[in-house]
Structure 1
Amino acid sequence: MFTGLVETTGTISKTESAAEGRRLRVETAFATDLAVGKSVAVSGVCLTVERRSDDWFEAFATEETLGRTYLSDLRVGDAVNLERPMPADGRFDGHVVKGTVDATGTVAGIREQAEGVEFVFDVPNSFAGYLVEKGAVAVDGASLTVADYGDRSFTVAAIPETLQLTTFSEKDVSDPVHLEADVLAKYVERRLAVEVAQ
């Protein structure tokens, strides 16, 4: 389990197709804090560390993961957000983020503000129902608060610290983003569906 509090960023230094998926190498000093066989969130996608050195780690993305995300579009030099799982005795901030991407959205607008940047994201219909005002959403693995939403979009405000710690400062309009809904919304949806069916 993750919290959506991105710890640092890394840079894709190598990608290669492999049987039933794709292998990614991420260059980052953060690699010293990782262990082979353990999980790491790469722009919101939970992957397993296969190899590591002091300044890089490698992880494998299956075809199913590639089909749900934009990981197959990553190229050498692209930046990614990184987060380790929350330790059992750790302080819980952010919100519950599983690292299982629900959908891919698109940056629809970027507006500079006095303190930070406002982002507008277009989302598929299947994801829009999980959005509520002031609710939590994970965008590329970062826990953000929904400021406003419409039928096919939502808005968030990224504060300077978020811009500094994540890849959001490098985003452009039309760039893809990974989206993960608050798992609490999914439980509510499931419960209501069961009640309606009874």
Structure 2
Amino acid sequence: MFSGIVETTARVVAIERENTNIHFTFECSFGDELGIDQSVAHNGVCLTVVSREGKQYVVTAMDETLKRSNLDVLKVGDEVNVERSMIMNGRLDGHIVQGHVDETAVCTKVENMDGSYFFTFEYAANPEMARRGYFCVDKGSVTVNGVSLTVCNPTDNSFQVSIIPYTYEHTNFHAIEEGTKVNIEFDIIGKYIARLQHFEEK
């Protein structure tokens, strides 16, 4: 479980394909603090540390994860947002994030708002998935590349978010431009409500 408050970015050091899996080697400032079997969110995707040496560590993404996320387009040298699992004895600064990416979205517009940045993202509209809670609501929460954000101006297949300079500089949002593919996770509370309504309608 995560909060969507990114700790830092990690750099892709190596990529190794094995059948349908990909083993990623990352390097980040807290890499030497990680333990084997520890969960770390990478662009919002929860992955398990399988080995570590110094500040470098290895995680494995399987086929299902690669199909739903942007991890399959990563290259050596790219940076991803990383967050260690949440400690359940403090404030929840973001929102409840599972690290289970629902799908990808594409950035369609970036606006410099004289101090902050306005990003527009578009994703595949699916009425059946929407009935199951996979959609955005105005002023609700969404996770973009692991960053907990507030939704603005949602439509059936798009939404906007406003990014303050600190977030822009300390996450990989500074590398997002028109055409960039990002990972999104919709709010888990909305999914549970939609599921409950499904049973109440029966």
- Aligning the two structures, in what range does the TM-score lie when normalised by the shorter sequence? over 0.9
Residue correspondences, number = 197
Secondary structure of 2:194's counterpart equals: helix
Normalising by structure 2, report the TM-score: 0.93
Give the SS at the match of 1:148: coil
Aligned-partner residue type, residue 180 of structure 2: D
Q: In the alignment, is the contact (CA less than 8 A) between 1:15 and 1:24 conserved in 2?
A: yes
2:150 counterpart letter in structure 1:
T
Identity percentage of aligned residues: 38
Residue 94 of structure 2 corresponds to 94
In the alignment, is residue 151 of structure 1 matched against residue 163 of structure 2? no
Per the TM alignment, residue 91 of structure 1 is displaced from its structure 2 partner at its CA by: 2.4
C-alpha separation in 2, matches of 1:98 and 1:133: 21
1:96-175 to structure 2, matched below 5 A, reads 96-126=96-126, 130-175=135-180
Give the partner amino acid of 2:141: A
Please give the alpha-carbon distance, in whole angstroms, between the structure 1 residues aligned to 2:20 and 2:48: 15
| Superposition deviation, residue 181 in structure 1 | 0.5
Unaligned runs of 5+ in 2: none
Give CA deviations for 1:131-170 in whole Å, capped at 9, x if unaligned: 1110000000100000211222101000011112210001
Question: Structure 1: where are the runs of 5+ without partners?
Answer: none
RMSD of Structure 2 on Structure 1 (CA): 1.3
The corresponding residue for 2:199 is 194
More displaced, 19-28 or 41-50? 19-28
2-structure distance, mates of 1:81, 1:61: 16
> What whole-Å deviation, never above 9, does each CA across 1:102-157 have from its counterpart, x for those lacking one?
01100010000122110000011136652111000000010000021122210100
Partner Cα separation in structure 1 for residue 60 and residue 121 of structure 2 = 28
Q: Is this contact kept in 2: 1:29–1:56, CA < 8 A? A: no
CA distances 1:19-58 after superposition (whole Å, capped 9, x unpaired): 3411001121220232111100000000000111222111
SS at match of 2:191: helix
Structural mapping, 1:51-70, within 5 Å: 51-70=51-70
**TM-score scaled by length of structure 1:** 0.95
Moved more, 47-56 or 75-84: 47-56
